Amino acid sequence: MPLILRVDATRWREHLRRYVAAHPQVVPVVKGNGYGLGRRRLAAEVATLGLPTLAVGSYEELGDVGDAFAGDLLVLTPWRPSAGGSAPVVDDPRVIHTVSRLEDMRDLAGSGARVVLEVLTSVHRHGIAPDRLGEAVGHLDGVSFEGWALHLPLAGDRHGEAQRLVRALPDAGRTATPVWASHLDAAGAARLAETTATPVRLRVGTALWLGDRGALQVKASVLDVHRLRRGEPYGYRQRRSRTASTLLVVSGGTAHGVGLEAPSAAGTARQRALALSRGGLAASGRTLSPFTVGGRRAWFAEPPHMQCSLLRLPASVEPPAVGDEVDVEVRFTTTLFDRIDLTGPDGERS
């Protein structure tokens, strides 16, 4: 009885087609766990959509998508002269390399590699400082220069930042060199292209693949149901039930990514208050689970196990039966599903 992702294939693919029609310069991002759907499956969808380029997160991911998609492959992780003991291949004509350091651009000069130069933004993750881009341009001989890359923040005036950076780009001796940008919306990208006379290619992952959440349903199976008396011990840590209750065992545990959290941004006073509240509840042994039972989120009885989770229901709630399914709210980019079902007449493709 697995943790299942069910995809209404017709609705999901209709969303993909609408998104691409509204964003003709989109570059789909296919990285990590494939946004819960799998990299190879998404690469095949990009091929069906007829798009010329997709982006992967790392060189290690190229092998998963290369035979499902025949177009160009942009690697988002910057090129380095040595990765894992060997330099990433530069003679594959399909691969576009991201270069974020002057020394790496010098190493690639004359190699014939296809490159985009990443500009350092206020994110401060990767990139060449704007005032040193002229030096980088001086090393473009002998490579195929494919444009500039901007990894913009999610907060702040990212559209204004993109305008400032693009206007300050040095003349690379090429006309209409594109900018490959992340985290711009369609209106912002169109405005940037119009005001700077620069083609803009939008690198998009979440908004494309997960943009219609109504097409995606995550289901966990009920594996066991146990009645607990007041004071009866349960679980690995042998806590005692404070009241008469029901222990529900459902599929989905830490091996799937259930119950694992990234640090919270907590950028507002309300978010900080919620984080403090959750921390206080967790300290008292109460943590809300992502599973919904009887229309309400259920509490974890204890931290999730590897393949399943134990939930605690009040005795007044009628529990589901073994074999029933319950809804699960997951973070798709960190979840590994046992099974993915594309349902409907536009279902799984071979």
Delimit the domains of the chain by residue range: 9-209, 214-342
For 9-209, CATH gives 3.20.20.10
> Residues 46-92: pLDDT tens digits?
999 999 999 999 999 999 898 899 999 999 999 998 755 556 778 89
Specify the fold of 214-342: Lyase, Ornithine Decarboxylase; Chain A, domain 1 (2.40.37)
- Residues across the chain: 350
User: What are the residue ranges of helices labelled H in 284-335?
Assistant: none
Q: pTM, whole model, 2 decimals?
A: 0.88
Burial of 326 (0-12, 13-18, 19+ CB in 10 A): buried
Mean pLDDT, contiguous 10-residue spans, the chain (350 residues): 93 96 93 96 96 96 92 95 69 94 93 96 96 93 95 92 93 75 91 92 96 97 94 88 92 92 58 43 65 94 94 92 96 95 74
Give the residue from 241, 190, 244 showing the smallest Cα distance to 23: 190
Give the residue from 268, 225, 269 showing the smallest Cα distance to 246: 225
Query: What CA–CA distance (Å, rounded) separates 148 from 115?
Result: 9
Task: Output the six-digit token pair for 9.
Answer: 């294939």
Q: What does the pLDDT read at residue 299?
A: 95
Block residue for tokens 């490159």: 115
In terms of phi and psi (left: phi > 0; alpha: psi -120 to 50; beta: otherwise), the region of 317 is: beta
What b/e readout covers 114-145, taking b as 16+ CB neighbours within 10 angstroms? bbbbbbbbebeebbbeeeebeebbebbeebeb
Q: What does the pLDDT read at residue 227?
A: 94
Q: Within 10 Å of residue 168's Cβ, how many Cβ atoms?
A: 11
Q: What does the pLDDT read at residue 273?
A: 46
